[in-house]
Amino acid sequence: MKINDVILQTVTKIVVFIILTFGVELFLSGHYNPGGGFIGGLVLSSAFVLLYLVFDIETVHKGIPFDFKKVAAFGVLLAVGTGLGSVLFGASFLTQTASYFNLPVFGATELSTVMLFEAGVALTVVGVVVTIILSISEDV
Amino acid sequence: METLITILVGVLVTVAVYLLLSKSLVRVILGTAILSHAVHLLLMTMGRLKKGAVPLLGENAESYTDALPQALILTAIVISFAVTSFLLVLAYRTYKETGSDNLDALRGFKDE
Amino acid sequence: MLAITIAIFIPFLAALLVPFIYKRVQSRSIGWFVMSVPLALFIYLASFIPAVAGGKTYIHTIKWIDSAGINFTTYLDGLSMIFGLLITGVGSLVILYSIYYLSEREALGRFYVYLLMFMGSMLGVILSDNIMVLYVFWELTSISSFLLIAFWYHRKKSRYGAQKSMLITVSGGVGMLAGFIMLYTMTGSYSVREIIETIGQYTNESLFLPAMLLVLLGAFTKSAQFPFHIWLPDAMEAPTPVSAYLHSATMVKAGIYLVARFTPVFGGEAVWFYTVTGVGIFTLFWGSVNAVRQTDLKALLAYSTISQLGLIMSLFGLGSAALNEGYSADSVIYTQATFAALFHLINHSTFKGALFMVVGIVDHQVGTRDIRRLGGLMTLMPVTFTIAVIGSFSMAGLPPFNGFLSKEMFFESVLNVRNLDIFAMGPLMGSLLPVVAWVASVLTFVYSMIIVFQTFLGKHQPDRLDRKAFEAPVGMLIAPSILALFVVGIFFFPNVVGTYLLGPAMTAVYPPFEGAEGLVPHIAAWHGFNAPIMMTIGVIAVGALLYIYLRYWRGIYSLAPMRWNLDSMYNGLLTQTEKTSSFLTRTYMTGYLRDYLVYIFVFFILTVGGGLLWTGGFSIDLSNDAPMTISEYIIIFVMMGASIAIIFAKSRMTAILLNGVLGYSIAILFVVFRAPDLALTQIIVETVTTALFLLCFYFLPEWSKEKSTRSLKVFKGIIAISVGTVVTVLALVVQGNKMFESISVYFENAYELAGGKNIVNTILGDFRAFDTMLEVVVLFIAGIGVFTLIKLKAGKGDEDVED
């Protein structure tokens, strides 16, 4: 698919960053406000899909040289791995914990293992959605 | 409101079943998509509707909407997305291999 | 002892490593790595011998499914010790032998993976205390045996033999599982030790007898007892090391182990005594009769294994009489049968293992196992000949080999039974047993002689052999020589085995007799001129005569009753079953997706709708409905209209847009229902789905108008409307009847319990994280599925993978 549309491409370049930021924000805020791994992942992947639609696959691939299958696999690994991690500490599978840390810029921030789990979910969603779309469009 | 939504669910299920019984593969897939819409709505009504606030504890409300169906539906939405996309690709591949999306024509191999 | 539990898993772990090592080292030296596993385990287990002989037992539990009473409990006592040593000891020797036996062109990696898998599962069978775990390992041995028999899967006979053994042993195993479940229903425990302790209260339960028979079914199929023995000769298609290991020394003894382990549970019953003894003695007889007529050395050994297993089985049956008698000074004498059984179990593994290896060597060196083509190999292969003589003579029950000792004890036990009056043992039955045993022993003598004399003596026929005969390489001779050394060694020092191995095992089989005088007898080669020795002399005399005049009486095998054959029954049954099931399947599997969906929907309408009608469960209560605004009415009616319009859409583009309308309207409804997470997700998913649909439509054909008859349309309409109605009514009924309080209140403590304020999100990430994790996995599988569907294309010529 090759679309040559300067306006669309220019707008996309800006919009993608807005979508990406929104996706990350949704992902991070999930614990207290609407959002979370699924939604964040879906928003992020829609940004990538937009990129692929507007530019051609090769161009995007140069900019984002990930194999999205591996991203998805890593996500699954992370999600299952956090579950196993709690087993190592003697808790039952998938027990989550949280505590507060003083970070330089953010101040007192709550960091929890749910975050890792959700990150796994988000990565899987991104990887799978992009893989599906790419597989179909590459196969012509 | 619940009654009307339930009737809507019934209508959606009817349409979905009718599409599922079609010959064309695309109609069948559309049928599964509509069926999952129906199920999501059905789950939602099971927790009663519009009772209490948005299930965010930051709202400090007296009571909250039932969060459990929402969590279930969130899972179901993602799964039904996965299933729909898989079926679509299956249809696509079937058409490429056999040149047909008619389920009656796709029935088995001749030499079976 | 955690280490014993780990011991079960070490072979499995090694099996995991083998493919990686084999990738680097593509030679037979991989065998040395594999051999180190059973050898280390053997030494480890052997280090427990003194403690176990002193009456100690080791137990270790790893919690698994605690709530269902299924835990990973390992239990090492005298009985499991014998089997453990056999599995690891014979295992090491067989692997040593296989290093030289198998050519480097074979798929050695695969072979050793299967073999290690088998070893692990076998250790699991004998060390598990929990019968459910035991069952799992039991079936694993069947599976690995299947894989090993079908090792040369390009041969039709290998596949046939593998399938046969699988079908027979697994169906027996399933029967055994049913028996185990019955035991659990009676006693409420899956632990063998607990069942043994409490079984006394349950012997009158109606499930007791079926449980016993089903457990025996498992044991008999595994140990190739009549009439299930037919799989064992066909299993000989496996490579010879496998036959030596699985089908003579270990796996077929799993059934024996099961009988021994469950003797304290069921042994006191007359039915047990009669079934085990009767089946065993008949198998002994039938196996020996059939062994004599074989011309293939391996088939001969297969039937002789069947026969010897029958012998051991019958001895366990005889030994169970002691439990029925209860503990007394008189009843101890009956335990001697079990003692003989355990003793013969060890002896059989040594001499039969050696014989299998000898046959493998002959086959390997000259290219045939047919005794009609063999002969005169004695001078060409002197070492092999010596081992063959030791093995065969021990099997025939001649001194100075260990088979003589156990055969004598066997005769003595059979004769003892005549004194039994408890089971209404009539004089006829009492004397029938010794006679059958004696006849079978004569035939055993005959086929043992066939092995030695027709292979190694007589006229050498070099022109009928594939290769010129030479002595085998030293490496191949080591393993059978070690076994032959044991055959002779045990004869001279039987009491070492008796005290250290058999004694503790006897206590395991006879818990009430613990420490009783005479439970562990002194084994002596010479008892004076008593009945058993006379029987042995008779065996030798008559056997020698029969062997010399073999060709004059061989004709009886072609008589009509001898040709009546269990194999053809099995084959007939198999084809008949296949025919019937494919006929049945054809009647409803039409190949039309619509038909299958109709089955599902009609079933749903009948059961759910019919159930509602039948129970009269209608009570619809609409009073609790939430109020609605005008805009909500509009959304709902738009959705109804859009959905109905999809059916009548002329183009797929319209249809997909209407589907989009549905999706986005639902997102709006989610906002109304106060579900912000859902609304967000729904919007994005709907967008991506629509994009996907459009992408695929680019390649798919425009949808044509459904050409279907009016009646079909009406039929579809009726089904669809009925399903819709049933769903609606059911949903309304459910909403109108609140039978339980909602459990959702629990989740409202999300901040205290999970540290989050978004309840939906805490449910997903914490309360029900397991669901989410698996959902992620499903999503991933779908993604990989899509990827493979598109990328993986069958190349030309790849299509006929199955023949």
Q: What is the SS3 string spanning C82-105? A: HHHHHHHHHHHHHHHHHHHHCCCC
Radius of gyration of chain A (CA): 18
Weakest-pLDDT range from A86-100, B81-95, C37-51: A86-100
Query: Please, is C261 exposed, middle or buried when counting C-beta atoms within 10 Å of its C-beta (0-12, 13-18, 19+)?
Result: buried
What separation in angstroms does the CA of B72 have from each of A27, B3, C580, C607, C772? 19, 21, 44, 26, 10
pLDDT for the residue numbered A11: 86
**Closest alpha carbon within chain C to B9:** C728
Examine the pLDDT at C593 and tell me if it is beyond 70. yes
Asked if C777 reaches chain A (Cβ–Cβ under 8 Å), the answer is: yes
pLDDT tens track for B82-111: 899 899 888 888 888 887 777 777 776 554
**Are residues C245 and C90 in contact, defined by beta-carbon separation less than 8 angstroms?**
yes
* Contact across the interface for C666 and B67, Cβ inside 8 Å: no
pLDDT for the residue numbered C43: 94
pLDDT band at A106 (very low <50, low <70, confident <90, very high): low
- Least CB-CB distance to B34: which of C643, C673, C674? C643
d(CA C52, CA C521): 18
Residues in C 392-421 with any Cβ partner in A closer than 8 A: none
pLDDT for the residue numbered C344: 93
**Are residues A82 and A113 in contact, defined by beta-carbon separation less than 8 angstroms?**
yes
pLDDT for the residue numbered C555: 74
- Least CB-CB distance to A96: which of C766, C783, C787? C766
pLDDT tens track for B22-49: 888 888 999 999 999 999 999 988 877 7
* Structural domains counted in chain A: 1
pLDDT for the residue numbered C418: 74
Report yes or no on B103 lying in a domain: no
Residues in A 93-122 with any Cβ partner in B closer than 8 A: none
pLDDT for the residue numbered C803: 41
Residue to test with chain C: of A57, A121, A138, most C Cβ within 10 A: A121
Report yes or no on B112 lying in a domain: no
Residues in C 657-676 with any Cβ partner in A closer than 8 A: 676
pLDDT for the residue numbered C367: 84
The tally of CA atoms less than 13 A away on the side-chain side of residue C733 is: 16
pLDDT tens track for C409-450: 898 888 887 776 655 555 666 778 888 899 999 999 999 998
Report yes or no on B107 lying in a domain: no
- Tell me what percent of chain B is helix, strand and coil, each rounded to the nearest 5: 70, 5, 30
Residues in A 24-43 with any Cβ partner in C closer than 8 A: 26, 30-39, 42-43
Asked if C666 reaches chain B (Cβ–Cβ under 8 Å), the answer is: yes
pLDDT for the residue numbered C179: 94
pLDDT for the residue numbered C802: 44
pLDDT band at C132 (very low <50, low <70, confident <90, very high): very high
List CB contacts (< 8 A) between B78 and chain A: 38, 125
Closest CA of chain C from B21, distance in Å: 5
Decide: helix, strand or coil at residue C119: helix
* Contact across the interface for A125 and C779, Cβ inside 8 Å: yes
List CB contacts (< 8 A) between A32 and chain B: 56, 58
Residue bearing tokens 């949808």: C703
Please tell me what DSSP assigns to residue C27.
Answer: S
* Contact across the interface for A33 and B56, Cβ inside 8 Å: yes
Examine the pLDDT at C309 and tell me if it is beyond 90. yes
**DSSP per residue over A70-131, as a string?**
HHHHHHHHHHHHHHHHHHHTTSPTT---EEEEEETTTEEEEEEHHHHHHHHHHHHHHHHHHH
* Structural domains counted in chain B: 1
pLDDT band at A100 (very low <50, low <70, confident <90, very high): low
Examine the pLDDT at C563 and tell me if it is beyond 60. no
Residue to test with chain A: of B75, B80, B81, most A Cβ within 10 A: B81
d(CA C320, CA C374): 44
d(CA C803, CA C795): 17
Higher-scoring residue by pLDDT: A2, C487? C487
pLDDT tens track for C133-177: 999 999 999 999 999 999 998 989 999 999 999 999 999 999 999
pLDDT for the residue numbered C276: 92
Examine the pLDDT at A72 and tell me if it is beyond 80. yes
pLDDT for the residue numbered C421: 60
List CB contacts (< 8 A) between B92 and chain C: 696, 699-700, 790
Mean pLDDT for the stretch of residues C397-415:
88
* Contact across the interface for C786 and A132, Cβ inside 8 Å: yes
d(CA C727, CA C733): 10
Asked if C690 reaches chain A (Cβ–Cβ under 8 Å), the answer is: no
Closest CA of chain A from B53, distance in Å: 13
pLDDT for the residue numbered B112: 44
pLDDT for the residue numbered A107: 62
Parallel/antiparallel/unpaired status of strands A98-103 and A107-112:
antiparallel
Burial C549-566 (b: 16+ CB within 10 A, else e): ebeeeeeeeeeeeeeeee
pLDDT for the residue numbered C427: 61
Mean pLDDT for the stretch of residues C115-132:
93
* Contact across the interface for B89 and A135, Cβ inside 8 Å: yes
pLDDT tens track for C511-537: 877 777 777 788 877 777 788 888 888
d(CA A125, CA C154): 44
Report yes or no on B110 lying in a domain: no
Examine the pLDDT at C231 and tell me if it is beyond 70. yes
Average pLDDT value for chain C? 86
Q: Which domain holds residue A54?
A: 6-138
Mean pLDDT for the stretch of residues C367-373:
85
Residue to test with chain C: of A57, A71, A114, A115, most C Cβ within 10 A: A114
pLDDT tens track for C546-557: 888 887 777 777
Asked if C659 reaches chain B (Cβ–Cβ under 8 Å), the answer is: yes
Q: Which domain holds residue B75?
A: 2-49+65-98
Interface contacts A/B by beta carbons within 8 Å = 14
**Closest alpha carbon within chain C to A120:** C776
The ipTM is: 0.92
List CB contacts (< 8 A) between C718 and chain B: none
Two structure tokens written together for C165: 């053994």
* Contact across the interface for A49 and C680, Cβ inside 8 Å: no
Mean pLDDT for the stretch of residues C358-381:
86
Weakest-pLDDT range from C479-493, C584-598, C745-759: C745-759
pLDDT for the residue numbered C791: 83
Examine the pLDDT at A1 and tell me if it is beyond 50. no
**Are residues C504 and C55 in contact, defined by beta-carbon separation less than 8 angstroms?**
yes
d(CA C727, CA B7): 9
Residue to test with chain C: of B4, B11, B17, most C Cβ within 10 A: B17
List CB contacts (< 8 A) between C761 and chain A: 30-31, 35-36
Percent of chain A predicted with pLDDT > 70 = 81
Weakest-pLDDT range from A96-105, B16-25, C246-255, C766-775: A96-105
End-to-end CA gap in chain B: 53
Contacts of C306 (CB under 8 A, 6+ apart): C224, C225, C226, C229, C232, C233, C283, C286, C287, C290, C291
Q: What is the CATH number of the domain that holds B87?
A: 1.10.287
List CB contacts (< 8 A) between A53 and chain C: 691
Report yes or no on A17 lying in a domain: yes
Report yes or no on A1 lying in a domain: no
Domain C611-751 in CATH 2.40.50.100: no
The tally of CA atoms less than 13 A away on the side-chain side of residue C159 is: 5
Contacts of C349 (CB under 8 A, 6+ apart): C86, C90, C248, C249, C250, C253
